Amino acid sequence: MAESPKTFYLETFGCQMNVHDSEKVIGTLVSEGYRQVPTVEEAGLVLYNTCSIRDKAEQKVFHRLADYKKLQKQGKKFGVLGCVAQQEGAKVFERAPYVSLVCGSASYRNLPEMLIQIEAGERATGLDDRQTDKCFETEFTARTNPHRGYITIIEGCDKFCAYCVVPFTRGKERSRTSDSVLDEARQMADLGYSEIQLLGQNVNSYKDSAGKRSFAELLAAVGEVPGIRRVRFTTSHPRDFGRDIVQAIDAVPTLCDHVHLPVQSGSTRVLDAMQRLYTREQYLERISWMKAARREISITSDIIVGFPGETEAEFEETLSLLDDVQYDAIFGFKYSPRPNTPALKLEDAIPDEEKVRRLAVVNEKQRDLQRKANDRHLGKIVEVMVEGKNEARQQWIGRTSQNKVLNFTAGESTVPSVGSYVPVIITVCFPNSLLGEMVV
């Protein structure tokens, strides 16, 4: 059977921003008469929405493209979207000549015209819109989960941390108006969504472009939309993390008691070299605000080990920070040099074996801390949103407001529906997940 040229396959790499961008791309393509298919083989147009935050991420895309080189002979077209597209630009065509579309995230609104170009056998690029003041508004968003959905409130980043490619791939910061965010939240509630995740590279740097609400006020307002039971937000930057956010979490029960506040390093010297704009002490002060909240707020973080010049003693400061904060979870990364970033000028002198060792030490230390601390949840009854079922284990999969996975069993006659909220008593605590029984 001949393949319809109006079919597409889309694979997404990277962060939640990319996952949500893909929902917007899918919505746009569908509105242009394309149909999404689940395999490369069935597709006329193969798209990769790429990530370039660390180097393995971009290598993955080029390997994937190389794998499918021969398919191009069958008349399939290929497109590279997202951060690698923005970073490499027309160089993608040199590395993978069979690609016909290269488009960064700020240009997705121009996709309909670009699709016409590539259908006519031309090459199309969308790379120039990063410095625009326009946000990619979500006229056509094909959300994949019917219960929990993302809303981008701010795009881009003006912080220029020394290691980070994001300001170059996603351009300058632009915020939507809080009214348009609230309209979208209300529409989602009308469609039956009960959980909303507000997204931004630095979500709490949000500045209402109409000047009406602060970030904390917007959080509270989304949390008060009838029908919305959970509001999450990610990722927060410590410099812009105000006490008002903690006060909002305390005041509005629908705001989830979880904050992802990446520290990157426990050493003020390294933080300064990273251009993070805060000291260890300032970071710990923000943590103390959360610890003083009436609700127990779960705190998670990102850590980079082996930043250029990080000494053993400075690395140990990161380890002692883990003790001080008692995170609920961390994501650790080995420093990797990125194009255009200021840290490229610093010598990346720490050998990879040493970065591997430091990463293993950080992860092991955190695992120990989580093993000890997680027991505090034993016997508590918490509400979970049901996400699905693990048939092999005969367990339901739930997520707590604190963003912890809580797998649970339910009586034989009870079938909790996906997307519903049920109370679960916690009976076993593992370092990375919890186990419990549904309370009836």
Does position 348 interact with ligand 5AD (CB under 6 A)? The reply is no
> DSSP labels for 392-431?
TTTEEEEEETTS-EEEEE--TT--PPTT-EEEEEEEEE-S
**Measured distance CA(346)–CA(137) in Å, rounded:** 38
Please, which residue, 53 or 438, has the CB nearer to ligand 5AD?
53
Residue 52 binding target from ligand 5AD, ligand SF4, none, CB below 5 to 8 Å by type = ligand SF4
Both structure tokens of 195: 């959980």
Give helix 312-325 / helix 352-373 axis angle, nearest 10°.
20
Residue 283 within binding range of ligand 5AD, rule CB under 6 A: no
For 252-291, b/e burial (b = at least 16 CB within 10 A) is: bebbbbbbbbbbbbbbbbbbebbebebebeebbebbebbe
| Per CB under 6 A, 52 contacts ligand SF4 | yes
User: Which positions from 134 through 173 interact with ligand 5AD, judged by CB under 6 A?
Assistant: 163-164
61 binds ligand SF4 per the rule CB under 6 A: no
Q: Find the part of the chain contacting ligand 5AD (CB under 6 A) among 102-110, 265-273, 328-336, 381-389.
A: 328-336
| Residue 377 C-alpha from the chain's centroid | 26
Site string for ligand 5AD, 37-76 (x = CB under 6 A): ----------------xx----------------------
Cis peptide before 7 (omega within 30 of 0): no
Of ligand 5AD, ligand SF4, none, which one does residue 220 interact with (CB within 5 to 8 Å by kind)?
A: none
Footprint of ligand 5AD on 287-306 (CB under 6 A): 302, 304
Distance CA(337)–CA(165), nearest Å, equals 9
Contact between residue 189 and residue 208 where contact means Cβ atoms under 8 Å apart:
no
Rounded to a whole number of angstroms, the minimum distance from the CB of residue 234 to ligand 5AD is 10
In the list 14, 171, 200, 262, the residue contacting ligand 5AD (rule: CB under 6 A) is 262
Residue nearest to ligand 5AD (CB): 302
CA distances from 91 to 49, 96, 229 (A): 16, 9, 46
The minimum distance between CB 157 and ligand 5AD, in angstroms, equals 11
For residue 185, what are the CA distances in angstroms to 143, 144, 201, 208, 234? 13, 16, 19, 16, 16
Amino acid at 82: G
What distance in Å separates the CA atoms of residue 409 and residue 286, rounded to the nearest whole number? 37
Is residue 276 near ligand SF4 by the rule CB under 6 A?
Answer: no
Q: Is 18 an interacting residue with respect to ligand SF4 (CB under 6 A)? A: yes
Instruction: Indicate whether 51 belongs to the interface with ligand SF4 (CB under 6 A).
Output: yes
Rounded CA separation 51/58 (Å) = 6
User: What are 152's strand-pairing partners?
Assistant: 199
Contact stretch for ligand 5AD (CB under 6 A) within 28-36, 65-73, 143-151, 335-343: 335-343
Asked whether 102 and 79 are in contact (CB, 8 A), the reply is yes
CB closest to ligand SF4, residue no: 14
Residue 28 contact, options ligand SF4, ligand 5AD, none, Cβ 5-8 Å cut-off depending on partner type: none
Q: How far is the CB of 125 from ligand 5AD (least distance, A)?
A: 25
Nearer to ligand 5AD, 32 or 302 (CB): 302
The answer to whether residue 78 forms part of the interface with ligand 5AD (CB under 6 A) is no
x/- letters, 72..91, toward ligand SF4 (CB under 6 A): ----------xx--------
Residue 96 or 165 with smaller CB distance to ligand SF4: 165
Is-contact 367 327, C-beta < 8 A? no
249 or 343: whose CB is closer to ligand 5AD? Answer: 343
| Cβ-based nearer residue to ligand SF4, 171 or 306 | 171
Q: Is 29 exposed, middle or buried (0-12, 13-18, 19+ CB in 10 A)?
A: buried
Check residue 358 for interaction with ligand 5AD (CB under 6 A). no
Q: Which stretch binds ligand SF4 (CB under 6 A): 92-100, 165-173, 255-263, 350-358?
A: 165-173
3-class DSSP string for 58-72? HHHHHHHHHHCHHHH
Residue ranges binding ligand SF4 (CB under 6 A): 14-15, 17-18, 51-53, 82-83, 165-166, 169-170
